[in-house]
Amino acid sequence: MGKIAFVFPGQGSQIVGMGQDLFEKDEQAKKIFQKADEALSAPLSRLIFNGPQEELTLTVNAQPALVTTSYALFQALSEAGIKPDYTAGHSLGEYSALAASGAISFEDAVTTVRQRGEFMEDAVPNGTGSMAAILGMERGLLSEVTAEISSKGEPVQLANINCPGQIVISGSTEGVRLAGELAKEKGAKRAIPLVVSGPFHSELMKPAAARLQEVLDSISVNDAAVPVISNVTAQPIHKPEEIKEKLIEQLYSPVLWEDSVNTLLSLGVDTFVEVGPGKVLSGLIKKIDRKASVYSVSDQESLQNTVQALRGN
């Protein structure tokens, strides 16, 4: 058997009720949800289990909610003896990956992403920035499209390079609209506007990055016990200074997800476990490499099935 990577989902995977069966049946998981409530001085777990979905989806709630649920599932996997050789996370998921790798404490991860969510919300006035998924166009051509629109004064850039034929762009609302139209003229299959509250992973997030720097300087960051693949470079990072630097750059840089998965494959990973709600990353990984073994762990049942399958290997 090759190596195992744990991958952690980002914003958009949150769903009311996630992690609840774990909370009810697993003492360790229960403690993690309680720790999150304490760290934030807020009833986060109640919002996670009972909703409403609209409130859970707000960036400031979705980010700590996903880190908490993913971390509780990670702990349950660890207790069952399933350990990763590498970790990676999609955008926000990188914080879950860093907590799982021991680079930051769970409490610091939760409080940092709550603030990160606030900074991202505040960076750009509502409605002035947006994102869209461009399907069926390769990145070189799409980069030319975004450069052309940006040169006319409407900033837009590649934000998430997810898998072949699926790239998200981000920038000013008008820039994203114009780039979507131009991409279709040049052969893209579709441009799908995303329901997000801002132009994440674009230069417009630089004001948020400056504020995040202060928060990261105030928490302790350790060497990662398990290498984490950075969104910004798609390469393993270990050292505290590098980890902080890449988390700040991550706010306004593209998430190189396709490259990160290819890096993991080149490092001998053949088994990916998506740790958290939904199957977004599992789907992307399968599009990048059909031969990879992919499991998703989102509740008690999928946890047990995955543990059985991996122990059997």
What's the full length of the chain, in residues?
A: 313
Please state, in angstroms and rounded to a whole number, the distance separating the CA atoms of residues 159 and 60.
20
Handedness of CA 97, 135, 154, 148 (dihedral sign): positive
Q: Which two tokens stand for residue 291?
A: 């031969």
Eight-state DSSP code of residue 42: S
Handedness of CA 191, 192, 197, 200 (dihedral sign): negative
Q: Is the pLDDT of residue 296 over 60?
A: yes
Q: Is the pLDDT of residue 313 over 70?
A: no
What's the pLDDT score for residue 150? 98
Please state, in angstroms and rounded to a whole number, the distance separating the CA atoms of residues 271 and 294.
6
Alpha-carbon distance values, 200 to 18, 197, 301 (Å)? 24, 8, 34
Spatial neighbors of 125 by CB under 8 A, at least 6 apart, are: none
Q: Is the pLDDT of residue 43 over 60?
A: yes
pTM of the predicted model, to two decimals? Answer: 0.96
Please state, in angstroms and rounded to a whole number, the distance separating the CA atoms of residues 84 and 273.
9
Eight-state DSSP code of residue 297: E
Q: Is 97 exposed, middle or buried (0-12, 13-18, 19+ CB in 10 A)?
A: buried
Handedness of CA 268, 272, 275, 279 (dihedral sign): positive
Lowest mean pLDDT segment, chosen from 82-86, 116-120, 125-129, 131-135: 125-129
What's the pLDDT score for residue 125? 87
Residues 190-217: what's their mean pLDDT?
94
Q: Give all domains of the chain, ordered by start, each with its CATH number.
A: 3-123+204-312 (3.40.366.10), 129-196 (3.30.70.250)
Give the largest Cα separation in the chain, rounded.
57
Please state, in angstroms and rounded to a whole number, the distance separating the CA atoms of residues 268 and 251.
29
Contact 286, 107 (CB under 8 A): no
Provide the strand spans (E) within the chain.
Answer: 3-8, 86-89, 129-135, 156-163, 166-172, 190-193, 228-229, 236-237, 269-275, 293-297
Q: Which residues are catalytic?
A: 91, 201
Residue 134's DSSP bridge partners are 167, 191
Residues 190-214: what's their mean pLDDT?
94
Please state, in angstroms and rounded to a whole number, the distance separating the CA atoms of residues 236 and 228.
5
74 pLDDT tier (thresholds 50, 70, 90): very high
Q: Is the pLDDT of residue 81 over 60?
A: yes
Contact 88, 188 (CB under 8 A): no
Nearest-10 Cα torsion for 311, 267, 92, 174: -140
Please state, in angstroms and rounded to a whole number, the distance separating the CA atoms of residues 252 and 157.
10
Residues 126-141: what's their mean pLDDT?
95
196 pLDDT tier (thresholds 50, 70, 90): confident
